[in-house]
Chains A and B, each alone.
Chain A
């Protein structure tokens, strides 16, 4: 036989080395069992080229003889389709979570239903006019009306300023989120570069790919992301219609660059800042300005305790500027409760109290318009909560499916460990057997009878 005596040693050595590499991969998996974004890897074992090559000069032998095993590659076990699904849900999750957070703050600012929300302040204000109508001559009831009107104005001011605060905080949040987008973009560009360098040399940069996928997952929470695979394992990324990463270069985006943000945290925050909260503010301003105009018009039609026509009751034009005329606080006698200048007449006070029953805002009274605003905020918040619950559930279940494919199962790794350990042991045993045979050949041949 024209085979080397030592060929078996080489064959078993390959076995030992390959099993050892497989054990190393198992060890890597176990070490990263709890690493976020890690995809399990497997060593792909494949037989080495058999001996010998077919050819006319091939030595005569029975056929091709196997020469052992080698690790062909380290595979990263991952389903790209699940990544796409996950990211689509993550965008919705980012959108609905941001919306829900903002709206919950708006809702907390309302403090309804309660005994100290704007509704209760409105009721106290209307009732105070009725109290004045019961005893228009009485300075105490007038003083109490002036105080309740001031309380109502404060209530409007406080709500308006809370809405502005939430709006400006949302604006701050947009800026820091854009920073986050740019920072992630930079990291992805660096990874693209490293991945390209590995790929051109024929490697599989599994762990770099995991890191990049994790960053893309995070990015898709922030905006609607499009991922396009290009050459050498690189990806181009655009967010909100603007190109963020192209190969190894990352752009520094501003909010104005992302012209078609439709999903993700940024879209949620921008809608809150530019549409939702201003909508609430303008409704609140309409309420306040309607109250101011109607009250001042009616107040001017009446007469104060001195018999002179009433001046302005409220000053200001919006929810943030409404205030009671300070003259009325210092001298409540100037409140024009009388309809004809007589002290006992309270027709104007009744008319002012009855502004509550007038359909001044469309078909709604001031009270019902406020209650509509509360209902609208309530149902917007409820909708956002539902969306966020659904998105959380869906991202959770898609993540489960991803984990099912890519996650590390310790039981499986232990089984692999045993398997490869046994493989290693058996290869070593085979090598020992070869060794014994060669020992027999070298040390004992020709010593018959010694």
Chain B
């Protein structure tokens, strides 16, 4: 093949251009630390990277949901614990008041103490988390109980749900009506009956129906505590699982998106060597020609 000067120049220029292109791509990988900077670098990899990014965002959101639900249920747990303490104290007082040795005066004193305890139970029923009443059902902005004689429940019986995974929902709240009741049912009604029985000196009722009723109330409270505790356990498990998943997804995302530094550095120095030898070849393209050897005679 006949070779001309212009062919040498064109080949050199196009080779230099190629090497510079590659060098610049590798340099971008090194400086950004990313293997994928544009979808065309690896279209399939990009779609996976987008999926992993979406998964990560969703996972982090579920972790926030779990944290939020867990805080809510911790507050619920503390309140239930205090209510349980009060109810157990009431049971002791009922046992004490039911004894035939207690006279009307002593029963009246006990009734007064129980009335105090009712208020403190209602106060627990008004427990708030982040400005929301945890025992008010879904009427979270309405205070469920009023202090004093009125036992009306202003909340509702709705059990709210939180999402802690794709289509995985968990019951969030214990409602006041189920745990504490109101003037016509549940714990509060029991307690008011006990107070009345104590004040009317109704020993028989105290010994039988009232004691049974308070035992039922104790069961209801511990049941609520158990449900709440089990739910918290579930949240903790979910949290651990979500964290594990986050780690795996982050790893997968990094494998897809991030540059393998060792490999990239080796590529870089190889390309640098090629670039330098291309430049050296370029410097020599201005070769001596026949003109240098022809005498001008």
Contacts and interface: CB of A to CB of B under 8 A. Distances in A.
A414 B288 CA distance: 13
A133 B162 contact: yes
Task: Give the bracket for the number of chain A residues in contact with chain B.
Answer: 35 or more
Contacts of A407: 2, 4-7
Given A343-B139, A345-B160, A371 B290 contact: no
A404 B7 contact: yes
20 contacts: A33-B6, A104-B40, A107-B40, A120-B53, A134-B64, A135-B68, A137-B131, A137-B132, A342-B137, A342-B139, A342-B158, A357-B167, A378-B39, A382-B41, A385-B40, A396-B11, A400-B7, A403-B6, A404-B1, A411-B289
Nearest to A108: B38
Given A137-B131, A368-B51, A411-B290, A344 B167 contact: no
Given A404-B7, A409-B3, A119 B50 contact: yes
Given A137-B140, A371-B51, A414-B291, A409 B161 contact: no
Nearest to B15: A396
B156 A374 contact: no
B130 A135 contact: yes
Contacts of A342: 137-139, 156, 158
B50 A414 contact: no
A356 B137 CA distance: 28
A371 B50 contact: yes
Interface string A403-433: 1110111110011001000000000000000
Most A Cβ at <10 Å: residue of B39, B64, B140: B39
B57 interface: yes
B257 interface: yes
A244 interface: no
- Closest 5 A-B residue pairs measured CB to CB? A378-B39, A344-B140, A378-B43, A407-B4, A123-B57
B40 A378 contact: yes
Contact of B54 (A33, A119, A375): A119
Contact of A381 (B39, B47, B141): B39
A174 to B, nearest CB: 24
B136 interface: yes
Given A396-B14, A399-B10, 10 more contacts: A113-B46, A119-B50, A120-B53, A133-B162, A137-B141, A342-B158, A350-B169, A375-B44, A392-B14, A404-B7
A354 B49 CA distance: 21
A400 B140 contact: no
A376 B40 CA distance: 9
Contacts of B49: 113
B132 A375 contact: no
A131 B58 CA distance: 11
Contacts of B42: 378
A119 B6 CA distance: 49
Task: Give the bracket for the number of chain B residues in contact with chain A.
Answer: 35 or more
B55 to A, nearest CB: 10
Interface in B166-202: 166-167, 169, 173
A403 B65 contact: no
A11 interface: no
B163 A350 contact: yes
A126 interface: yes
A309 B10 CA distance: 72
B50 A113 contact: yes
Given A357-B166, A399-B10, A410 B290 contact: yes
Given A113-B36, A113-B257, A410-B289, A123 B58 contact: yes
A130 B64 contact: yes
A180 interface: no
Contacts of B69: 134
A346 B160 contact: yes
B288 to A, nearest CB: 10
B61 interface: yes
Interface in A304-360: 338, 340, 342-347, 350, 353-354, 356-357
A83 interface: no
A108 B37 CA distance: 10
Contact of B39 (A110, A131, A343, A411): A110
A34 interface: yes
B10 A400 contact: yes
A39 to B, nearest CB: 12
A127 interface: yes
A396 B53 CA distance: 42
A371 B47 contact: yes
Nearest to A130: B61
A26 to B, nearest CB: 13
B100 to A, nearest CB: 48
Contacts of B266: none
A213 B12 CA distance: 25
B138 A372 contact: no
Interface string B132-169: 10001111110000000000000010101111001101
A374 B42 CA distance: 11
A284 interface: no
B262 interface: no
